[in-house]
Amino acid sequence: MKKLSLLVALAMVLTILSPIAALAQVSTVEGARFEQITDVADIAGSCFYLYIPSNMEVPFPMMTPVVYVYGNEPYADAEAAWAALTDAGLETIAEDEQVVIIMVNPVGDIWGEGDIDVYEAIMNYISYVDGVEQITYHSLQYAIGEGSGATFINNYLSHNAKRLAAVMTFGGEIGYNVPNLPLPAYIVSGSDEAVEYYLRANDETFIDDVNEVRPTSGRVDETIEYYRGFWTCEETDEKTTYTYTYDGVKQVIVSKAEATALDAGLIADCWNSLFRYTARICLTANFWQYTKDNYNDETFYLVKRPNYEAAGMEVIRVDATEQDIWTDIGQVGDRSYPYWYEFVPAAVQEAMESGSGETFALLLCFHGGGDHPIYEAESVGWAQLAIDNNIIMVAPNGSSSTGEEFNALIDYMIDKYPVDTSRIYAAGFSGGARSTLALSNAYPERLAAVAPQSCVSGPSYADLTDKLDTYEYDLDLPICVVGQGLETESTNNNYEYIWHNYLQLIMDLNEIEAPDMSALDFSTYPYWGFDTENLQRHGAPLPFAIWTSYMSDEDGIPMMALMHTEQTTHVHYPYYANLIWSWMQQFTHDTETHEVIYTPNA
């Protein structure tokens, strides 16, 4: 490891030019940066130290984790902050996992309520301040505190941690505190009161009961025993892990180690057992709308990230240019590169090793504009579904207006893996919905079913319907159309065009009798404006209900599925994948006759 080096002369110049500037920079790994930021958002006395690892191409910025560190005492200077960061093993985590580390100083001599404003200002700074690259979309943020920093997390930050996915505390104290939102925690040398607080915070039975009085210290053990009735408990020599029975993302891990200061080994365990698998996503406002000028108090929703290692799923990043199969990939934003991720379940690997001849469904998962392929796969629920259902999945980065590149990708995946060519599916969100439609327009004969989600640009099937005349067989394509109740408020979505053209073309394609699109009745039929079949509301434990319904052809086959939520906007929603798949898996197609084969409740 290279020795810490401070560019003092540069720091002096930058100090004169701007109070929000890099005052000190450290190069320990080529391309990495360590900077001191003061007076962020003009908050006098605010100071934090920002470490950006060397390689931020992937997953920057959609999947970039951010860890805030709150020390027991203020760091005297950049050297002290750097020493604390490296001693805690955070540089290793940052480089290995591409994590941004933020070492925070209190505004005053001790932590207090004013430091919540600094936390909010830092979030804006690393996301949207002019001249600073966008580091995060806020879904993977965590906090670690030691001593008085742990006390700050317990008593202040935990009540304002709307975007924090989990916290870790070393020692610290906790006063009487009524939780106001779920917050997974890893507790080292914490009091029984702290353990009870985080158990209660993550238990929906009590989180809204502000009148519930926390027992006195004499009854804490009894209370913890009571909570165990709602939690599963895994005990080892090193720690006790409580997992909430009704929602596995909500965990409280209690270490049996005695440490009140940052410990590299324990931090590594926290990262590998809690932080790595815990995320928050926004549901009622677009993540890209979180700026200093457009900020709301939405509590991001906790979701559990897949544990690929435990499931035996291999995730492989492949550079398209090395495979020589994509001749012209479209670019999404200025950080798009022609590559893809292959998700290969353990059962697929075993079949390949044994030569059993077993084949598996293939799903193409397309991301939206500015999104990251893994974020898309995880946040809509496809990655976990692929694990649970032994589906081979490929998630390309980039878009295609012709579908040619993705058709070539299908051939590549068939050559590499045991794909059941009668079960090839495609799904995508927003811009990924357009990629889904581009592929299905150009190569409908290859697909068993598709699911464009939240397509906001008025897609057309005119090219496809014209192309049907060139086929020597009848071609149907089961399509699941997904929308969200608040999208019109956040995307300028031209629903009139979609209703009158897009949906009707899908119905024409699949020989479904279309309703009168000039007489839509949204008061009687919310969202779609016309009558559908088997309308069903899927509620608890979902935070926002999903409505499903169908449109059948003359043979009674539900060739078109319609899904929407009541209150979400143009955002990823992890509960869609299972519902889409429950409909989609009923369809296969004959690869020779191209006939759609429908097997109800497959």
The packing angle between helices 431-442 and 404-416, to 10°, is 80
Helix, coil or strand: residue 108: coil
Tokens 């495979």: give the residue. 323
Residues 165-192, mean pLDDT to the nearest whole number: 92
Q: What percent of the chain has pLDDT over 90?
A: 47
pLDDT band at 21 (very low <50, low <70, confident <90, very high): very low
Q: Which residue has the higher pLDDT, 21 or 564?
A: 564
Q: What is the mean pLDDT of residues 521-532?
A: 85
The answer on pLDDT for 464 being more than 60 is: no
Let me know: does 480 contact 380? Beta carbons within 8 Å: no
Confidence bin at 81 (pLDDT 50/70/90): very high
Integer-rounded Cα radius of gyration of the chain: 26
For the cut 80, the answer to whether the pLDDT of residue 36 exceeds it is: yes
Confidence at residue 292, expressed as pLDDT on a 0 to 100 scale: 47
Q: What angle do CA 568, 433, 473 make, to 5 degrees?
A: 135
Measured CA to CA in angstroms, residue 274 lies from 112, 186, 252 at distances of 27, 8, 9
Least confident range from 136-145, 206-215, 367-376, 415-424: namely 206-215
**pLDDT above 80 (res 135):** no
pLDDT at 85 over 80: yes
Alpha carbons 53 and 134: distance in angstroms, whole number: 14
Distance CA 552, CA 561 (A): 9
| Banded model confidence at residue 466, pLDDT cuts 50, 70, 90 | low
pLDDT in tens, 220-270: 666 667 666 788 889 999 999 999 988 899 999 999 999 999 999 999 999
The reported pTM is 0.86
Mapped to the 3 state alphabet, what secondary structure does 69-82 carry?
Answer: EECCCCCCCHHHHH
Q: Which of 218-232, 344-358, 446-460 has the weakest average pLDDT?
A: 218-232
pLDDT tens, residue by residue, 473-487: 567 889 999 988 777
pLDDT at 207 exceeding the cut of 80: no
Say which residue, 206 or 256, is predicted with more confidence: 256
Chain centroid offset of residue 177 CA: 30
Burial of 465 (0-12, 13-18, 19+ CB in 10 A): middle
Whether the pLDDT of residue 390 is over 60: the answer is: yes
**What pLDDT score does 281 carry?**
84
580-to-5, 142, 341, 418, 514 alpha-carbon distances in Å: 54, 31, 21, 23, 22
Q: How many CB atoms lie within 10 A of CB 294?
A: 11
pLDDT of residue 37 exceeding 50, the answer is yes
> Which residues on neighbouring strands pair with residue 35, listed in sequence order?
50
546: nearest Cα among 495, 490, 480, 493: 480
Mean pLDDT of the chain: 82
Residues 6+ apart with CB under 8 A from 556: none
Q: Range with the lowest mean pLDDT among 240-254, 299-313, 324-338?
A: 324-338
User: For residue 580, what are its two tokens?
Assistant: 């889409």
CA dist., res. 308 & res. 312, Å (int): 6
Is 330 or 112 the better-scoring residue by pLDDT?
112
Q: What are phi and psi of 127, to 5 degrees?
A: -115, -40
Q: What is the pLDDT of residue 169?
A: 98
